Structure 1
């Protein structure tokens, strides 16, 4: 057996620590979005360059290295891989506060991506180890609350520190905080004993995991559907703070409070609701793991458009509350479904394969597409160009919904029944 045989903490405590680390994961991502405007002014950057920093600089290595890091985690210690990853990405986040130009900041963001590549897929696998199948979607949904909580804290803390000190200190503060919690994480989170590789369940090479997933249409449809959603989601998370500044006249603290409250209320409710519904409905019909995200995305696009095009901040907040939950409701259902497309000893690698597609599309393209559209439309629409660019990209949510609906039937066939 492999794993830590010393006294372990309860699954709930382990999940809480994983949630804390995932919160730092997204806090470190979002802080660039809330600081985009002062960084743009200080370093003289265009919206396209900001989009590259928010997307491509992070996604290039984050997406590609997630697979080998997950393979290492499946074969060695998942908790050690996450601990090292947390230390690396937090350190590079702090270094972003020392950047003096575009290329230096680009390289530091690459470093953040390298570190965060080792965080998510091993965490999915650890949760699958600690929680039985009947509770797994809810556990994964609770873990995924790190996304809205981290985004909200990035908005609130980043805006406050930047306005009262400067944008550089915001990076340094949150980066060093992550470094400090890394040893506490390793103390609490232990690997469960796993059966060693046997002839029946050998250590799987990446090619074998890819081979299994490649033959399952549900994997491709869910991965590309989530990718289309993430293109909008990551793009909006990065650019909406700038829309609030340019189109609604907010200051940095006001942006943090506006965006942070939407994420904390709408985002956390949406993520948990997705996991709860998936656990209740997925046992009756595995296709519901795809149906739930599809219906949520169909509602997300028009609600986001109405909020972004509103002229009243109060009305905008009310209209944007629901889509801030609906757009990430997919996290519990789809990440759970991916866990059940392969045998248990391949879970981290399968999750990383899914994240590779999702993040190359979502992280790699979302921020830069919206930024480039904004630059292209600025001559005609001025400061309103960014608002219209974000609305145009909402059509990707409709594509995501269509792909998820197409995945319903094949998911029923591809699901490996009986896996724990």
Structure 2
């Protein structure tokens, strides 16, 4: 393994991790734009579709993340990321063969298992290559995979489905990941200095984090925000078709533009501000996303109740950006709650709480609520359910504003650099 030198090697590693993360969210979010044709062909209701978008993916994505992160800390983070990419891409392609609910449910479980080994080790690998004062920005650049991947998945999936069918869309995006995997595994390696740090046990890391109020603050607040955020991201294309009159291709273009413009601005803005304000006071790692969540809720509501899709797009842009402000600051803070050898495990435990509540619960609960509201509101039931979900943003914002001081108390100083 070669030692990283200068800025070139960290830049290559970050670029490759970004490409893998883009594939991650292409495969994860393509289901949202394909929901309408899948529901029509497989005869699924909103609650079942919510299970596919949330529980089917999040159940094993969240729980397998912990053992896979422990494996990554012990055997090599880059290796685990590369093989995880192979697994989730293959399972995405398998969704094309689904003939009913349980077929596609099991394939989405496989996507979740694969993606469980990608994110937390990537956070830790970035922690190896980038010093503390650059970490929020590096994590923010990595997190661009979320809006770019989501937008690409929505646009590619919607276009392919509109021109051919939804099954081909799954096959194409799965194939892209399978081509990228060997390139990633050849170019990206763990740093030798990091490999010499003995990893610690899950029990020790979990015991340490359980005693840290800041960990629960960050995890529970972000889980609440994710219940709103994942629900909106998954169901907005369906709302655009049911309540705003857009067709499949039109809703794909609307949503892709929203994710790309708002998401990139929010991720980069949050990372830059997180580093800048966090140097003055570490509590800003909670205060900044807390303020962003509080502002985003009423702005999202205005877009949801607006009269036409053009007004909705303009109204959604700012809260879409604000909803991404958390990534750089909160992910950086989690990295600083433990020692370097425990970063994959800490990130996995954070994602476990976040995804079991936020990803699994939000998408399904919003779909279930829409089914219950349908006798009252008809096709607008999903729009009303989305309005109720914004309460989770308000709760998350208040929790973060109240608890920023605990981050100051629990923050672990950066260790001195080790000689080559």
TM-score (norm 1): 0.97
Shift of 1:316: 0.5
Q: Distance in 2 between matches of 1:136 and 1:35?
A: 35
Equivalents in 1 of 2:116, 2:328: separation in Å?
A: 20
TM-superposed CA distance for 1:312, in Å, is 1.5
Equivalent in 236, 242, 246 of residue 238 of structure 2 = 242
CA distance in 2, matches of 1:21, 1:303: 32
| Within-5 A mapping of 1:118-137 | 118-137=117-136
Q: Is the 8 A contact 2:3 2:192 kept in 1?
A: no
SS for the counterpart of 2:280 is: coil
Aligned to 1:170, the other structure's residue is in SS state: helix
Residue 207 (structure 1) aligned with residue 206 (structure 2): no
Alignment pair present for 1:5 and 2:2:
yes
Return the alpha-carbon distance in structure 1 between the equivalents of residues 80 and 230 of structure 2. 25
| Counterpart position of 1:217 | 213
Q: Which of 256, 263, 268 is residue 260 of structure 1 equivalent to?
A: 256
Structure 1 pair 271–6 and aligned structure 2 pair: CA distance change class (3 A): closer
Work out whether 1:97 is the aligned partner of 2:96: yes
Count the aligned residue pairs.
Answer: 414
Q: Which residue in the other structure is 1:113 paired with?
A: 112
Show the counterpart of 2:145. Answer: 146
1:329, distance to aligned residue in structure 2 (A): 0.8
Q: Report how far residue 249 of structure 1 moved.
A: 0.9
CA–CA distance in structure 1, aligned partners of residues 114 and 19 of structure 2: 16
Q: What is the Cα deviation at residue 279 of structure 1? A: 0.7
- Partner Cα separation in structure 2 for residue 133 and residue 56 of structure 1: 35
CA distance in 2, matches of 1:290, 1:354: 15
2:225 maps to 1:229 = yes
2:24 and 2:115 in contact (8 A); partners too: yes
Offset, 1:6: 7.1
CA RMSD, aligned part only? 1.2
Match of 1:399 in 2: 395
- 1:272-351 equivalence runs, <5 A: 272-351=268-347
Give the CA deviation at 1:29.
Answer: 1.0
Look up the SS of the partner of 1:310 in the other structure. Answer: coil
Partner of 1:77: 76
Deviation at 1:7, TM superposition (A): 7.8
Q: Deviations along 1:84-122, whole A, 9 cap, x unmatched? A: 000000000000011000001000000000000000000
| Shift, 1:5, TM fit | 3.2
Unpaired stretches in structure 2, ≥5 consecutive residues: none
Is the Cα contact below 8 Å between 2:214 and 2:410 reproduced in 1?
yes
Shift of 1:405: 1.4
Q: Residue in 1 aligned with 2:38?
A: 39
Equivalence for 1:185: 184
Tell me how far apart the structure 1 counterparts of residues 229 and 187 of structure 2 sit (CA, whole Å).
32
Equivalences for 1:162-201 in 2 at 5 Å?
Answer: 162-194=161-193
1:253: how far off?
1.0
- Note the alpha carbon deviations across 1:263-289, whole angstroms, 9 max, x for none: 111111100111100111101100000
SS at match of 2:325: coil
| Aligned 8 A contact 2:23 2:149 in 1 | yes
Say if 1:209 and 1:346, in contact at 8 Å, map to a contact too.
yes
Q: Distance in 2 between matches of 1:243 and 1:196?
A: 48
Deviations 1:371-413 (A, max 9, x none): 0000000011100000100111100001111111122111110
Distance across 1 between alignment mates of 2:186 and 2:401 = 42
Q: What TM-score comes out, normalization by structure 2 length?
A: 0.97
Q: Is the 8 A contact 1:221 1:406 kept in 2?
A: no
Residues 34-67 of structure 1 deviation map (CA, whole Å, 9 limit, x = unaligned): 0000000000000000000000000110000101
Matches of 1:203 and 1:139 in 2, distance apart?
23
Shift of 1:187: 1.3
In structure 1, stretches of 5+ residues that fail to align are: none
- In 1: Cα distance, 2:185 partner to 2:195 partner: 22
